[in-house]
Amino acid sequence: MKVKLENDERLEDLQCAGLKIIQNKNFYTFTSDSVVLANFIKLKKTDKCVEIGTGCGVISVLLSAKTEFDKIYAFELQSEMARLAEKNVLLNNLDDKIEIISDDVRNFKQYLKPESFDVVFSNPPYMRKDVALNSNPIKNKARHDETLPIDDLCKTAYSLLKFNGRFFVVYTATRVAELIYTLMQNNLEPKKMFFTENGKGKVVLVVIEAVKGGKHGIEVL
């Protein structure tokens, strides 16, 4: 489907199955975090999924080509980003597979039934509030965890998932201990984990798959 580009928007080729993405230079633009997570997530064709903090929608859009699923409900707190995500869903003719919900995911009970999803995934805001702020408020909300503290993130994922449902998350590696502790406090057992580095030997990200009600034991990839 053709969509109109607004001022400051640009169209980019995702170099994956002909998929395209619109980004706005004044908003938060996706980085390698999103691509790493999209490559890690594996779904089944019957899976009903929720994305927490979809941004421009790039992870859900990429998953449409990389794996199978029944439906993704993608929450986005910021209305400007939600509208952009909706454009990207329409651009790629995915409106039958991906539904954008413009609201705080902590309000999900207004839209969805608790404990009814197979998979939840998220590239959430993970910078602490003491990290230097950007002058752009849209970018700040996308980056800093005041908009979604780590405990709220894990509690919400737990509430959405069925028993044995899977939660995929990418986070800053500097907070891996806090992330694992909070996951386990919310009965989300880490089962797979790996780290990524920045090309200069510095570890920057951790990616984890956790299972609701899972047994202890983690595979470090």
Tokens 């064709």 sit at which residue?
45
Residue type, 181: Y
Alpha-carbon gap, residue 71 to 50, rounded angstroms = 8
Q: Where does the pLDDT of residue 4 fall: very low under 50, low under 70, confident under 90, or very high at 90 and above?
A: confident
Joined tokens for residue 210? 């956790």
pLDDT digits (tens, 9 = 90+) for 139-195: 666 666 788 999 999 999 999 999 999 999 999 999 999 999 999 999 999 999 999
pLDDT in tens, 41-53: 999 999 999 999 9
- Crossing angle, helix 150-160 and helix 176-185, to 10 degrees? 40
Q: What is the largest CA-CA distance in the chain?
A: 50
Cα–chain center distance at 56: 10
| Distance separating alpha carbons of residues 65 and 181, to the nearest angstrom | 33
The answer to whether the beta carbons of residues 77 and 104 sit under 8 Å apart is: yes
Q: Is 177 exposed, middle or buried (0-12, 13-18, 19+ CB in 10 A)?
A: exposed
